[in-house]
Amino acid sequence: MKVVKTIEEMRRLRQQTRGTVGFVPTMGYLHEGHLSLVRRAKENDTVVVSIYVNPTQFGPKEDFKSYPRDIPRDLAMLESLTDIVFMPEDAEMYPAGYDTWVEVKGITEGLEGATRPGHFRGVATVVTKLLNIVGPTRAYFGQKDAQQVAVIKKMAVELDMDLELIACPTVREPDGLAMSSRNVYLDPEERRGAAVLFKALTLAQELWKNGEKDADTVLHRMMALIKQEPLANIVYISIADGKTLKDVEEIKPPALVSLAVRFGKTRLIDNVVIG
Ligand code: AMP
């Protein structure tokens, strides 16, 4: 496994690579969710993983500074799975005077985009830069960040990017909590309470299977369940069209049921797709 810290070195290695390249962009502090993407990427001849906590996708009051980091641990986890780990520096990704941004309109307006202004501009920009540097055949993203997958897919089509994007299923803890680097922020009580999120998403799926099509009814039942958990503070719960990501009144598959909920200082997101 080669660890590469400069864009020049990454490009040089890419030029020497034959066959297909699978790429998994991450912000590090890896867990089984990330590793599931890396394992899937092994369907390529070469696997590249990036570790980069991208400052431009965090709002001024968000957790960029405190975002968990543990590079030695990450590298040990990747050792047997990855050929190249790309870890660029901020100064090279965003040098002084940096002024070019990728903005996807429409589907970035709701959900995460509405509650984290500027987030998807940062995501779309850094993903474009990383794809330009690494030049993968296929890139792998987690369905855990459903809106991010939709934004990147739309961007890749509309900017004529020549690669395949693959969305991988959400990996969960035994109690259903979606794995996330941010779960480490939760204290034991918050961690126990956080299991309510997947229960609420599962409830939505069950109600739909039992014939309930009214989004408001399902949202109210989900809200009532989450409110039984005193440590949970709902940021949003949404049932949206799976393609446009706009809220719907009547649930028609594919529908994206998604939520953001705070436990203390920790903001967790999760989703399921109906149909
Ligand atoms: P992050 O390091 O949080 O930026 O995540 C890097 C990639 O891993 C993104 O494509 C995420 O959607 C994906 N990912 C994060 N958590 C999970 C999970 N629990 N299951 C599957 N993929 C995940």
- In a domain, residue 176? The reply is no
- In a domain, residue 173? The reply is no
Identify the domain boundary among 116, 137, 168: 168
Q: Tell me what pLDDT residue 34 has.
A: 98
The CATH number covering residue 86 comes to 3.40.50.620
Handedness of CA 205, 211, 213, 218 (dihedral sign): negative
Residues 165-213: pLDDT tens digits? 999 999 999 999 999 999 999 999 999 999 999 999 999 999 999 999 9
Closest Cα to atom 10 of ligand 1: 141
Mark whether 123 and 227 lie in a shared domain: no
Residues 29-53: pLDDT tens digits? 999 999 999 999 999 999 999 999 9
34 is catalytic: yes
Mean residue pLDDT of the chain comes to: 98
Mark whether 162 and 207 lie in a shared domain: no
Q: Tell me what pLDDT residue 37 has.
A: 98
Structural domain span for residue 149: 2-168
CA distances from 274 to 59, 144, 201, 271 (A): 31, 14, 10, 10
The CATH number covering residue 226 comes to 3.30.1300.10
Q: Tell me what pLDDT residue 96 has.
A: 98
Q: Please give the tally of structural domains in the chain.
A: 2
Phi, psi of 207 (to 5 degrees): -60, -45
- Residue 32 Cα, ligand 1 centroid: separation in angstroms? 9
Most informative mutation of 69, 81, 145, 149 for ligand 1 (most atoms within 8 A of CB)? 145
Mark whether 188 and 160 lie in a shared domain: no
